[in-house]
């Protein structure tokens, strides 16, 4: 974590790799989207100009992949358009639709806060599932290793006996 803060390139290399890990990658992306929405909503509700909200929220998303998907919002705001016009269409449709509705109704801060809660809840559920499945997978892996070692040892000993008999019979003076 400290290395990520000091060397931003670490995040650009590490985050896409983590993103492909089943369940863990999705959970981390959900956390990053939640963090983006939470920061954005809080700043906007506090009266911070929208350009600063988008820049700060993008910087604090905590995931290079998610930051890359939302950073178009910065350029969009600078061009005088809405934030959602700059978002990547690779973002979840729920995120894009809710954000757009928030912009249209003038309740973007509240919409961002609701999105933050929804993504945080999803991430929490995914992390809970990980905490259930990781021990099961580790137990299965250890069991398979033990089975392999037991069978490998049994096969190896029978092979040693067979080879040992051949050698004794070949070199036996009574042959």
Tens digit of each residue's pLDDT (9 = 90 or more) over 54-96: 999 999 888 888 888 899 999 999 999 999 999 999 999 999 9
pLDDT tier, 171 (very low <50, low <70, confident <90, very high otherwise)? low
pLDDT tier, 114 (very low <50, low <70, confident <90, very high otherwise)? very high
pLDDT at 12: 53
Q: Report pLDDT digits (tens) over 8-55.
A: 555 556 566 666 677 788 888 999 999 999 999 999 999 999 999 999
Most confident region among 8-17, 111-120, 137-146, 153-162 by mean pLDDT: 111-120
More confident residue, 170 or 69: 69
> Residues 93, 94, 95, CA angle at the centre, nearest 5°?
90
Q: Token match 């089943």: residue?
A: 22
**Token reading at 31:** 């956390």
- Residue 174 reports pLDDT greater than 60: no
Contact 11, 64 (CB under 8 A): yes
- Residue 166 reports pLDDT greater than 80: no
**Token reading at 160:** 């040693």
**Token reading at 74:** 């910065």
For residue 166, the surrounding DSSP H or E stretch is: helix 108-171
> Residues 161, 167, 173, CA angle at the centre, nearest 5°?
130
pLDDT at 169: 55
More confident residue, 158 or 20: 20
CA distance linking residue 51 with residue 44, whole number of Å: 10
pLDDT at 2: 46
Residue 48: which residues within 8 A CB-CB, separation 6 or more?
56
Mean pLDDT for the stretch of residues 141-148: 90
The rounded Cα 74 to chain-centroid distance in angstroms is 24
- Residue 3 reports pLDDT greater than 70: no
As to burial, measured by CB atoms within 10 angstroms (0-12 exposed, 13-18 middle, 19+ buried), residue 175 is exposed
């Amino acid at each position: 974590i400290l290395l990520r803060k000091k060397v931003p390139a670490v995040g650009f290399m590490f985050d896409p790799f983590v993103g492909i890990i089943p369940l863990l990658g999705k959970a981390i992306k959900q956390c990053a989207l939640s963090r983006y929405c939470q920061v954005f909503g809080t700043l906007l509700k506090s009266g911070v100009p929208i350009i600063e909200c988008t820049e700060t929220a993008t910087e604090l998303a905590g995931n290079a992949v998610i930051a890359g998907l939302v950073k178009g919002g910065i350029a969009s705001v600078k061009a005088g358009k809405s934030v959602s016009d700059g978002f990547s269409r690779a973002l979840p449709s729920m995120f894009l639709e809710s954000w757009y509705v928030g912009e249209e109704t003038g309740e973007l801060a509240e919409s961002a806060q609701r999105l933050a809660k929804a993504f945080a809840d999803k991430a929490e559920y995914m992390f809970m599932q990980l905490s259930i499945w990781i021990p099961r997978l580790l137990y299965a892996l250890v069991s398979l290793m033990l089975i392999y070692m037991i069978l490998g040892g049994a096969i190896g000993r029978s092979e040693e006996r067979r080879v040992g008999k051949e050698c004794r019979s070949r070199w036996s003076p009574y042959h």
